A and B are shown apart, each in its own frame.
Chain A
Amino acid sequence: GDSVTQMEGPVTLSEEAFLTINCTYTATGYPSLFWYVQYPGEGLQLLLKATKADDKGSNKGFEATYRKETTSFHLEKGSVQVSDSAVYFCALKMKTSYDKVIFGPGTSLSVIP
């Protein structure tokens, strides 16, 4: 079945460090891909999305490119801030049927000053 795999956390980085959170997926078709972020004590917020191969989603300095050849959607940010400390979820949603959204297990990021 369809699935999403994320790198294991927690990830701890110093402020201004480069961030990469790996995400790979398995799907029988061509899904839309998403990154959601969950700040402490809050619900999930959509961070960015991509709906087709080679699309790049970007928001708040974060970027991710839909790579069909490697079935990946890695999240990157050039310089993290303490306020980026949160849990990040990669997700996919098929576009050809009314199918549920599939989330990865989440990656906890802590940014220290």
Chain B
Amino acid sequence: EAGVTQSPTHLIKTRGQQATLRCSPISGHTSVYWYQQALGLGLQFLLWYDEGEERNRGNFPPRFSGRQFPNYSSELNVNALELEDSALYLCASSFGFGELFFGEGSRLTVL
């Protein structure tokens, strides 16, 4: 069974540009979570989607946005990139009240 897959693995952008990160959940999972992990820091909750709707949002500015598609895959968009957006972005999926399964992450570098 395929796990959570994320793309791209690495992404390099410059300040002011936009970045789009993608996530495919485990088959049968309807919830997708996005977390930011900056260097040396813990996991900061970004967004949670379930059944196509945004269920919860962390303390991030509106330039962080996303969506979930009918097939439950998801994308995270970061507009007007800033240097401090450089981080590992982790996607996780779950079904119901079950545990989260994480992807390998997308490393975003903003120059």
Are A and B part of the same complex?
yes
**Of the candidates A32, A98, A105, which one forms a contact with B99 in the assembled complex, judged by CB atoms under 8 Å apart?**
A32
Given that A98-B55, A100-B33 are known contacts, is A105 also in contact with B42, CB under 8 Å in the complex? yes
Asked if B56 is an interface residue, CB under 8 A from chain A, the answer is yes
Question: B48 contacts A43, CB within 8 Å?
Answer: no
The residue in chain A whose Cβ has the minimal distance to the Cβ of B105 is A43
**Of the candidates A32, A43, A93, A100, which one forms a contact with B56 in the assembled complex, judged by CB atoms under 8 Å apart?**
A100
The stretch of A20-28, A44-52, A78-86 that contacts the partner chain: A44-52
Chain B residues whose CB sits within 8 angstroms of the CB of A49 once the complex forms: 99
Would you mind naming 24 contact pairs between A and B with Cβ atoms under 8 Å apart? A36-B102, A43-B4, A43-B102, A43-B103, A43-B104, A45-B102, A46-B99, A46-B101, A49-B99, A89-B42, A91-B100, A93-B99, A93-B100, A95-B97, A99-B56, A100-B33, A100-B45, A100-B48, A100-B55, A101-B45, A101-B92, A103-B43, A103-B45, A106-B42
User: From DSSP, what is the main secondary structure of chain A's interface residues?
Assistant: strand
The residue in chain A whose Cβ has the minimal distance to the Cβ of B43 is A103
Question: B99 contacts A34, CB within 8 Å?
Answer: yes
- The number of residues on chain B lying at the interface, defined by a beta carbon within 8 Å of a beta carbon of chain A, is 21
B: residues with CB less than 8 A from A are 4, 31, 33, 35, 42-43, 45, 48, 50, 55-56, 90, 92, 97, 99-105
Q: How far is the CA of A95 from the CA of B99 in the complex (A)?
A: 10
- The number of residues on chain A lying at the interface, defined by a beta carbon within 8 Å of a beta carbon of chain B, is 22
Chain A residues whose CB sits within 8 angstroms of the CB of B48 once the complex forms: 100
Question: Which of B31, B42, B55, B92 has most chain A Cβ within 10 Å?
Answer: B42
Given A45-B102, A46-B100, A106-B43, 6 more A-B residue pairs with CB atoms under 8 Å apart are A46-B101, A98-B55, A100-B45, A101-B100, A103-B45, A106-B42
Question: A93 contacts B42, CB within 8 Å?
Answer: no
Q: How far is the CA of A72 from the CA of B35 in the complex (A)?
A: 24
Question: B43 contacts A89, CB within 8 Å?
Answer: yes
